[in-house]
Amino acid sequence: MIVPLRSSQSGILLEQTIGRGLRLMWREPEYQEAKEENRKRVLQERIRPKNEIEVLNIIEHPRFLEFYDELIADGLAVVEGGEDDGETSGVGDFINVELRDGYEKYDFQFPVILRESEKIIEPKDFDVNKLQQFPMSFEEIKKILPKGERFVSQEVTSGTRYGDFDVHSGVMSATSYNDYVSRLVRRVMTLVSEKSEDTIKARRNASEVQFPLLQLYTPQIAGLVDAYLKKRLFGQEIDPHQDDNWRVFMMKDVAEAVVKNITTYIIKIQEETEVNEYEMMYRNLSEVTTLRMREGSSLETHKTIYERTSFPARSGNLEKSFIEYANTDGEVDAFAKIVEYKHTFIRFKYIREDGMLAHYHPDFLVRIGSKIYIVETKSEKDTSHPNVKRKKKSVLNWVEKINKLPEEHRQGFTWSYVLLGEDVFYDFKNKGATMKQLLDYATMRYDSGASIQGKLL
C-alpha cells in the first residue's frame, strides 16, 4: 500500500509511484497460480480478485484520477466500486503447513552422490573426431556473417568519451579468440558440473571440501574446444586469427552448436565411465520444515511428514487422485510430494530434445516395505514425449547407480522409477488394486524393451 503525502496541487510522478509498488510484489513461485487466477478475474472476467497478491493499493491523490481515466480509456484498467465484502484476504487461502508430530516415521533420506572416485576424465579420453560437425560450410557462414557495430559511450554534460564496445547478434560477446574460448569453456563447465548449489553449500560444512572434478581438467577441456573450432567443426582447418575468422564462431547458431556438442560429448564420457566407490551424503525431506500452499489446492494427509499435501490448482486431478490413493492404501508406509522450489536437492540432470542441459524434478516419493518408488504422473499422451523419455533415462541411470551400492549406503532400500500414465492409474484404481501392484506394473510396462541403464544419449 502506498500513501502519497503531497499537496493536492503539487506535481507527482505517477508512473514512479506505481513502479515502486510493483517492485515490492510477491515473487515466490508458490504464489504463481494465485497471481494468474487474479489476473484472469480482474482483466478478463472483470470481477474483484480473491486476494491482494499482486494488487497495488494507493490511497487516493487527485492527480491519480486523471491517470486512471487515461488507463481506462486505453482499456488498460478496470473500475470496481462498492464496499469490501470481507471475502478478499490479503493472501487469499494461502497457509503455512508445518512438519507433523512424529514426522520422522514418514521422512525420506535422499542419497546424493558427491564424488564418484573412478569417474576421472583423462585427457586421452577426449577425441575431437567424435564431435559432430556443423551442417553448413565455413564459407557459407562467413558470407552471411553480420558486421558488428562499435559504440562509444559519451557523458552528456561534459562530453567525456569512454568504454567502446561491440554489438552483434551472437549469444556471447568476446573481444578476442582466446577470450571466446575461455567463455565457451566456462559455459561448458557450468552445464556439465554435477554439483548443485545446495550440494556445494552442504559440503562446505563437511570436514573436507574437495574441488569439483572437472575443474582439475579445465586446460584439457580448453584444448578440446580449441581443436574442435580449428579442425573439426567445419570439417577443415580454420585459422581463427586470419581475417577475423574467429568471429564466425560467435554467430548464435554456431556458438549454440559448439556448446551443445561439447557438453553432450563430455556427459557421454561421464556416463560410460565405470564406478566402484562413491562419496555420499544424505538429504532429508524434513530439512524443509514449512511449506506454503493454498488450502483449496491441498489435502489433509496422514502418511506424509507434513500435515497437508498440495496439488496443482489447474489440471491437477491426477495428482490429487494419486495423493488420495496413496494416503488410504494400507501397504504404503510413507509418501511425499516433491516441491521443486523447496526440495531442490531432488533433481536429475538430463539433455533436452534441443540439446541443452536441464534439471528434472519428479512428482512423488512412495515407500512400501523395502522399496522406494520415484513417481512421475503424466497424461497418457505425454508419456511418449521425447523429453519425458529423456528424463526417465536420466533417473534410471541414477537408480542403477544407487542400487549397486552396498545396502548400508542406501539404508537397505531398493529404488525404482515409475512413469505412471493416467489411463493405467485409473484402470488399476477402479479395479481395487493396491499401490504396490500399480507401481510395479507401471514400472514393467514403461520399461519393457528399454535398457535399464538408459544412457543419456
* Residues sharing a CB contact under 8 Å with residue 75, sequence separation 6 or more, in sequence order: none
Secondary structure of residue 111 in the 3-state scheme: strand
Res 10 pLDDT > 90: no
pLDDT reported for residue 377 = 95
272-317, pLDDT tens digit by residue? 655 556 677 899 999 999 998 888 889 999 999 999 999 988 777 9
Secondary structure of residue 52 in the 3-state scheme: coil
Distance CA 402, CA 211 (A): 22
| Angle, helices 177-192/218-227, rounded to nearest 10 degrees | 120
pLDDT reported for residue 450 = 42
First to last CA, the chain: 53
Query: Higher pLDDT residue, 198 or 95?
Result: 95
Q: Are 227 and 120 contacting, i.e. CB atoms less than 8 angstroms apart?
A: no
Domains and CATH numbers, the chain: 1-92 (no CATH), 94-114+282-447 (3.40.1350), 119-272 (no CATH)
pLDDT reported for residue 90 = 53
Q: What is the CA radius of gyration of the chain?
A: 28
46-58, pLDDT tens digit by residue? 677 777 666 666 5
Look at strands 414-421 and 371-378 and give their pairing. parallel
Distances (CA, A) of 282 to 286, 305, 319, 359: 12, 17, 27, 19
Res 212 pLDDT > 50: no
Secondary structure of residue 173 in the 3-state scheme: coil
Query: Higher pLDDT residue, 195 or 177?
Result: 177
What residue type is 24 in one-letter code?
L
* Residues sharing a CB contact under 8 Å with residue 154, sequence separation 6 or more, in sequence order: 160, 161, 162
Query: Higher pLDDT residue, 118 or 230?
Result: 230
Can you say whether the dihedral through the CA atoms of 86, 89, 93, 99 is positive or negative?
negative
pLDDT reported for residue 220 = 80
pLDDT reported for residue 457 = 33
Residue 237 cell numbers, joined: 582447418
Query: Higher pLDDT residue, 282 or 76?
Result: 282
Secondary structure of residue 375 in the 3-state scheme: strand
Distance CA 108, CA 365 (A): 8
Distance CA 26, CA 30 (A): 10
pLDDT reported for residue 58 = 59
Mean pLDDT of the region 177-187: 83
Confidence category of residue 190, pLDDT binned at 50, 70, 90: confident
Query: Higher pLDDT residue, 400 or 176?
Result: 400
